[in-house]
Structure 1
Amino acid sequence: MAGRKPVTKKVINSPETCVDDNLRGVVAVYPALKLHPKHRVITVRTKNDTGRVAVLGGGGSGHEPFAAGMVGSGMLDGAVAGGVFASPPTGHVLYGIAHLYKYNSGGVIVIIGNYTGDRLNFGKAIEKAKIAGIKVEGLIVGEDVASSQNKTGGRSMVGEVIFYKLCGAMAQKGYELANIRDMAAEANKYMATLGVCLSACSLPGQPPLFEILADEMELGAGVHGEAGIRKMKLGTAREVVAMILDQIIDHLKLKAGDRIAVTIDNLGSTSFLEMNIISAETKDYLESKQIVVERIFAGHLKTSLEMHGFQICVLHLNKEHGDLWLELLDFPTDASGWTGGVASQSGDVDHGDDLTLLQADGREMTPGPSLSSKQQAVLKASLTAAATTLTQSEALLNKLDSGCGDGDCGITLKKFAQATLSYLEKADLEHPSSVLWALSEAAETDMGGTSGGIYSLGFAAASQALANAKYIDPAAWLSAWEQAMAAITKYGGAEPGDRTMLDTLHTAATAFRDNLNADLKTLLQKTADAAEAGCRATANMTARAGRASYVSLEHVSGEDAGARAAALWLRAVLDSIAQAY
Structure 2
Amino acid sequence: MSKKFVNNVEEAVNDALRGLVGSSDQLQLHPLYCGGAKKEKESLWWPEEALDTSHTRQVRLPSRFDVFSSGYVGEGLLTAAVAGDVFASPPSRHIQQALQATQSEEGTILFITNYTGDRLNFGLAAERFQENGKNKVKTLLISDDVAIDSPSNCVGKRGLAGAVLTIKIAGAMSECGKSMSEIYEKCLEINENLGTLGVSLYPGAVPGKRRGSEIPEDEIEVGLGIHGEPGKHRKPYSKAGEIFEDILGTLQHKMQLKPKEELFVLLNNLGSVSNLEMNILTGELVKWCDARKLKILRLFVGSYMTSLDSHGVSVTFLKNFSNDLTEYLDAPTKAPGWSGHLAVHHPVCENRKEKQEKMETGNLDISKSGAMGDEHSIRECVKAVCAAMGREEENLNELDSAAGDGDCGTTFATASKAIFSSMDSLVCSHPQTLLQQIANIFEQTVGGTCGALYALMLNSASKAFDTKSNSESCAEALRLANDTLQKYGGARPGDRTMVDALDAAVGKLADGGNEINWEEAMKASEKAAEETAKQKATVGRASYTSEKSQKRPDAGAIAITKWLRAIHEVIHSTSNT
TM range (shorter): 0.7 to 0.9
Taking structure 2 as the reference length, what is the TM-score of the superposition?
0.73
**1:443: how far off?**
3.1
Structure-2 change in CA distance of 1:414 and 1:172 (3 Å)? closer
Q: CA RMSD in A?
A: 5.1
TM norm structure 1: 0.73
Between 1:78-87 and 1:450-459, the stretch displaced more is: 450-459
Distance 1:221-1:455 versus aligned 2 partners, 3 A rule: closer
Whole-Å separation in 1 of the counterparts to 2:425 and 2:336: 58
User: Is the CA contact (8 Å cut-off) linking 2:501 and 2:557 kept in structure 1?
Assistant: no
| 1:337 alignment partner in structure 2 | 337
- Say if 1:552 and 1:239 are closer, same or farther in 2 by CA, change over 3 A: closer
Alignment of 1:88-487 (within 5 A): 88-100=90-102, 108-126=108-126, 131=132, 137-145=138-146, 146=148, 148-151=151-154, 153-197=156-200, 200-201=203-204, 203-206=206-209, 220-228=223-231, 231-234=233-236, 236=238, 241-245=244-248, 247-269=250-272, 275=278, 278-318=281-321, 321=322, 323-341=323-341, 344-350=342-348, 361=362, 371=370, 375-377=371-373, 383-384=378-379, 387=382, 390=385, 401=396, 404-405=399-400, 412=412, 416=416, 419=419, 423=423, 427=427, 432=432, 434-444=433-443, 451-460=450-459
How far apart are the structure 2 equivalents of 1:247 and 1:359? 38
Partner of residue 78, structure 1 = 80
Q: 1:76 to 1:565 in 2, by over 3 A?
A: same
Shift of 1:116: 4.0
What residue is the counterpart of 2:493 in the other structure?
A: 496
Distance (Å, rounded) in 1 between the aligned partners of 2:395 and 2:343: 51
SS in structure 2 of the partner of residue 293 of structure 1: strand
Query: d(CA) in 2 for partners of 1:571 and 1:198?
Result: 43
Is 1:68 aligned with 2:70? Answer: yes
CA gap of 1:487–1:139, structure 2 versus 1, over 3 A, is farther
Instruction: Name the aligned partner's letter for residue 30 of structure 2.
Output: H
CA separation in 2, counterparts of 1:263 and 1:361?
A: 41
CA contact (8 A) 1:394 1:411 kept: no
Does residue 536 in structure 1 map to residue 537 in structure 2?
no
Displacement of 1:97 after TM fit?
3.7
CA contact (8 A) 1:238 1:278 kept: yes
Residues 224-281 of structure 1: CA deviation (Å, up to 9, x unaligned): 34334x5454464556545555554454443333222222334445555655555555
**How far apart, CA to CA, are the structure 2 residues paired with 1:390 and 1:245?**
41
Q: State the one-letter code of the partner of 2:173.
A: M
Which whole-Å CA distance do the structure 2 matches of 1:305 and 1:271 have between them? 14
Q: Residues 499 and 330 of structure 1: is their aligned pair in 2 closer, same or farther, counting only changes over 3 Å?
A: same
2:194–2:319 contact (8 Å) kept in structure 1: yes
Partners in 2 of 1:389 and 1:214 — Cα distance?
32
| Partners of 1:124 and 1:294 in 2: CA distance | 39
Structure 2 counterpart SS, 1:442: helix
Deviation for aligned residue 1:438: 0.9
Is the contact between residue 269 and residue 309 of structure 1 (CA under 8 Å) also seen in structure 2?
Answer: yes
Q: Give CA-to-partner distance per residue, 1:356-411, whole Å, 9 cap, x none.
A: 996964599x989x54xxx3237x58855754664686699679847623697599
Matched residues, number: 549
**What is the alpha-carbon distance in structure 2 between the residues aligned to residue 399 and residue 498 of structure 1?**
24
Between the two proteins, what is the percent identity of the paired residues? 29
Unaligned runs of 5+ residues in structure 1 are: 1-6, 516-520
CA contact (8 A) 2:268 2:304 kept: yes
The answer to whether 1:19 aligns with 2:22 is: no
* Whole-angstrom CA distance in 2 between matches of 1:421 and 1:217: 31
Q: Is the counterpart of residue 552 in structure 1 residue 555 in structure 2? A: no
Change (3 A) 1:51 1:367: farther
Deviation at 1:574, TM superposition (A): 11
Tell me if structure 2 keeps the 8 A contact 1:397–1:409. Answer: yes
CA-to-aligned-CA distance 1:507-554 (integer Å, 9 cap, x gap): 666799x99xxxxx8356499967864663343341524576657233
Structure 2 residue runs of 5 or longer lacking an equivalent are 33-40, 401-405
- Tell me the alpha carbon deviations over residues 4-35 of structure 1, each in whole angstroms, 9 at most, x when there is no partner: xxx65555444432322332333355566432
**2:44 equivalent among 42, 45, 50:** 42
Q: More displaced, 194-203 or 289-298?
A: 194-203
1:302 & 1:43 partners in 2: Cα distance?
19
Q: 2:559 aligns with which of 562, 570, 580?
A: 562
Secondary structure in structure 1 of the residue aligned to 2:76: coil
- SS, match of residue 76 in structure 1: coil
AA of the residue aligned to 1:264 = L
Q: Distance in 1 between matches of 2:364 and 2:241?
A: 40
Tell me, yes or no, if the aligned pair for 1:401 and 1:560 is still in contact at 8 Å: no
Amino acid aligned to 1:170 = M
* Contact persistence 1:56–1:96 (CA under 8 A): no
Q: CA offsets, 1:423-442, max 9 Å, x none?
A: 5886286793x443212023
Distance 1:148 1:421 in 2: 50
CA spacing shift, 1:412–1:242, aligned 2, 3 Å: closer
